[in-house]
């Protein structure tokens, strides 16, 4: 029987408390209400407590409490949300057990969308930095009406701080261990009476957490990131607003994260790179045409150049290994120190992926205003048109193969509508549909591409009821989709070169409550997901003695699955000085039909049945809890913990991560415009495993299959200072 951590037991007790809290007669004289939290990713800005779906909003105070630089550091605030690394940052996200883990040679249609200030950055999670960010919104469940093909599992929306009319700004610095330092500044205010602007820039560097013994360096897995954001807001008239956003990211990180000793010491002679340069713009125009109709339009464009590379052998050269002394030595081998392997018993190779992305989109929608409701004034409506083009050009340079190139061109055109009809003063239904034409044109240097066009259909139906002024209950049915596509030429058999669309049918029940004179808010959601035609990345390894492992990866419609669970969130202003935030997720995600072949053939004797096995990156429980205490007006303390159950790293092998509990803390002092803080993350130095494999890569044991893991952040401590004006 699995033993859950103490934090899980505490959560169970709190859950009991939350379900009974409405019976408490709370007549506190000086009640402190929690701030209203608005979600901007919906068609209309909505209070998170009024939105009938599972949404987590991670605010600037949460980001500050973690001293978080990147999205990966705050995702634990959202229940049943995970990420996969295999790079310098967590670049791939999973919601309720659904999402990608990596990208190598094949094109990728993501399951979790990523938006940054209205710009589609899906699949480019390295750019999800949190500098000058107002909030992060995590929408769990298929967004078939609102976002379409890139949001099968959900959507992450990052919203940076807006331009202000009043002049304001700040300068800030941060320093910590591992030679970490960060410098940032922002300025905002009115340019004219009707135009406001904001400009913010940040530079963040760290040596990283690995030491390369061969190169005698401590920065081969370094972080080197520069991010700039610019915003303009103009009021063209009393009813018309124009907005312009610019996002720039220059990420030049190293990638040297795997060690032959499964620790933080590497021997690579050609460490890899995890780099991205992005220029992105968004232009929006919102106008209230009359008392009946509101017009909203948005045009975006983004260009990203990405390099992802690594030292495949994790060592140097055609190396030798002294069997009784665990140190790599260059040729020739010194036989006086012990027997040696011949140089040809090892291999040396690198793998490099250079991708250029271009994305352009146009979205125009009309919404009902106060006098535009239809059906005798009972129904609000939204109708819109969306068009996107995106291209992805790849150049792969691999030691063992000729240079490989490919081009993916995707054109997506959608019509969507959503209606909200009042059934009574307490109840209403929300129903919407999206029809999307998806054209996928894939070409490569081996002339094994494909050209596919399909029609996709998604939507939702929600019934919500205001039980009383304190409780909103809802039940929803939603259908999401992820378009089919093409594999690369690494797939030998022609029938495996394409895969079909996956559909996600989700039933969700929820209850959102405001208790104790609005001092305690809770959100509870239970869900059941049926995954049809599930796209699964299959992989197997073949390897000759002394040669590089040969990976064959491809996506196939090899499985059906079911994902079910419960999610609980609460924010409780326990005292005027004390706030308690809690997030808990329970998830059972398993395959109901999944067989993979041990090799690339159809030999039934080599088929592996994984029916009933848990899906990858789907921990059974996840938990985050945080206390924030204001000792005085100037001094505040925060203490947080996050816990996660073990989970499979991949669907194609059975290696698992280890369960963990992490602790974080921050002490901040505020005096007028000046703030100073001392922070620590992972205070106990707990090892967390963020990526894992199973294959042979160590000459000491004859390249036998071995469990390999990438470690996440160790103990990080630092100081921060900020001056605001």
Distance (Å, rounded) from C-alpha 461 to C-alpha 559? 26
Give the pLDDT confidence score for residue 315 in this predicted structure.
Answer: 84
Distance (Å, rounded) from C-alpha 471 to C-alpha 225? 44
Supply the DSSP string of 172-231, one letter for each residue. Answer: EEEEETTTEEEEEEEEEEEEETTEEEEEEEEEEEE--S-EETTTTBS-TT-EEEEEEEEE
Give the pLDDT confidence score for residue 497 in this predicted structure.
Answer: 77
Q: Chunked in runs of 10, what are the mean pLDDT values of the chain (725 residues)?
A: 42 41 38 70 87 94 94 96 92 94 86 95 93 96 90 95 97 97 98 97 97 94 97 97 98 95 92 97 97 97 97 72 43 46 62 96 96 95 97 94 94 97 95 95 88 93 93 96 82 74 95 94 97 83 64 79 96 96 97 70 60 92 96 96 96 92 97 97 96 85 87 96 97
Task: List the chain domain ranges.
Answer: 6-313+349-724
Contacts of 455 (CB under 8 A, 6+ apart): 435, 436, 437, 438
Joined together, the tokens standing for residue 403 give: 């240079």
CATH number of 6-313+349-724: 2.40.170.20
Phi and psi torsions of 513, nearest 5°: -130, 150
Structure letter (DSSP) for residue 648: B
Give the pLDDT confidence score for residue 16 in this predicted structure.
Answer: 40
Strand 54-59 to 81-84 pairing = unpaired
Q: What angle do CA 185, 175, 681 make, to 5 degrees?
A: 110
Instruction: List own/partner pairs for 323-327 with CB under 8 A and 24 or more apart.
Output: 323/700, 326/261
In which region does residue 306 sit, left (phi positive, over 0), alpha (psi from -120 to 50) or beta (all else)?
A: beta
Q: pTM for this structure?
A: 0.90
């Amino acid at each position: 029987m699995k033993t859950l951590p103490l934090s899980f037991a505490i959560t169970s007790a709190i859950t009991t408390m939350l379900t009974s809290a409405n019976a408490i007669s709370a007549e506190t004289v000086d009640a402190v209400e929690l701030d209203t939290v608005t979600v901007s990713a919906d068609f209309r800005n909505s209070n998170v407590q009024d939105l009938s779906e599972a949404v987590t909003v991670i605010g600037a105070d949460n980001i500050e409490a973690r001293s978080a630089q990147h999205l990966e550091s705050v995702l634990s605030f959202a229940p049943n949300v995970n990420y996969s690394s295999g790079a310098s940052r967590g670049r791939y996200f999973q919601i309720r057990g659904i999402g990608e883990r990596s990208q190598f040679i094949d094109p990728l249609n993501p399951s979790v969308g990523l938006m940054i200030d209205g710009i589609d950055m899906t699949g480019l999670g390295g750019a999800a930095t949190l500098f000058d960010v107002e909030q992060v919104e995590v929408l769990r469940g298929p967004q078939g009406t609102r976002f379409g093909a890139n949001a099968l599992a959900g959507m992450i929306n990052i919203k940076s701080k807006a331009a202000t009319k009043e002049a304001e700004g700040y300068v800030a610095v941060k320093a910590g261990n591992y030679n970490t330092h960060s410098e940032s500044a922002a300025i905002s205010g009115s340019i004219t009476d009707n135009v406001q602007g904001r400009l913010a820039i940040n530079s963040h560097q760290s040596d990283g957490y690995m030491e390369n013994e061969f190169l005698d360096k401590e920065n081969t897995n370094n972080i080197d990131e520069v991010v700039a954001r610019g915003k303009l807001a103009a009021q063209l008239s009393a009813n018309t607003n124009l907005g312009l956003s610019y996002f720039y990211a220059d990420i030049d990180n190293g990638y040297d994260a795997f060690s032959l000793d499964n620790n933080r010491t590497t021997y690579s002679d050609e460490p890899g790179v995890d780099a991205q340069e992005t220029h992105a713009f968004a232009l929006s125009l919102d106008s209230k045409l009359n008392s009946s109709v509101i017009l909203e339009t948005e045009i975006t464009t983004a260009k990203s150049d990405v390099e992802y590379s690594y030292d495949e052998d994790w060592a140097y050269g055609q190396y030798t290994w002294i069997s009784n002394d665990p140190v790599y030595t260059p040729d020739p081998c010194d036989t006086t120190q012990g027997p040696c392997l011949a140089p040809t018993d090892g291999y040396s190779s690198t793998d490099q992926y250079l991708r250029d992305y271009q994305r352009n989109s146009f979205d125009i929608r009309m919404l009902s205003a106060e006098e535009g409701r239809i059906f005798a004034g009972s129904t609000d409506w939204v109708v819109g048109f969306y068009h996107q083009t995106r291209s992805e050009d790849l150049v792969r340079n691999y030691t063992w193969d000729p240079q490989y190139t490919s081009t993916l061109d995707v054109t997506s055109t959608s019509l969507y509508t959503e209606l909200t009809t009042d059934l009574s003063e307490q109840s209403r239904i929300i129903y919407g549909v999206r029809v999307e034409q998806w054209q996928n044109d894939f070409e490569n240097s081996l002339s094994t591409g494909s050209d596919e066009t399909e029609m996709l259909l998604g939507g939702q139906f929600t019934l919500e009821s205001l039980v009383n002024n304190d409780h909103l209950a809802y039940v929803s049915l939603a259908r999401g989709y992820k378009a089919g596509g093409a594999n690369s030429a690494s797939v030998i058999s022609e029938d495996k070169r394409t895969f079909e669309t996956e559909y996600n049918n989700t039933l969700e029940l929820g209850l959102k409550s405001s208790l104790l004179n609005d001092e305690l808010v809770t959100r509870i959601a239970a869900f059941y997901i049926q995954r049809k035609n599930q796209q699964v990345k299959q992989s197997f390894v073949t390897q000759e003695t002394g040669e590089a492992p040969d990976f064959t990866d491809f996506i196939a419609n090899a499985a059906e699955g079911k994902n079910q669970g419960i999610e609980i969130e609460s924010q409780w202003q326990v005292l005027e000085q004390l706030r308690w935030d809690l997030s808990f997720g329970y998830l059972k995600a398993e395959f109901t039909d999944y067989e993979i072949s041990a090799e690339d053939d159809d030999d039934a004797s080599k088929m592996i049945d994984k029916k009933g096995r848990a899906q990858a990156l789907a921990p059974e429980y996840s938990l985050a809890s945080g206390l924030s205490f204001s000792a005085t007006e100037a001094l505040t303390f925060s203490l947080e913990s996050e816990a996660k159950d073990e989970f499979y790293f991949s669907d194609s092998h059975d290696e698992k991560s280890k369960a963990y509990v992490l602790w974080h803390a921050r002490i901040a002092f505020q005096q007028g415009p000046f703030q100073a803080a001392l922070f620590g993350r992972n205070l106990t130095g707990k090892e967390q495993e963020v990526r894992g494999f199973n294959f042979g890569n160590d000459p000491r044991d004859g390249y036998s299959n071995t469990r390999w893991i990438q470690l996440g952040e160790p103990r990080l401590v630092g100081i921060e200072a900020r001056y605001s004006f």
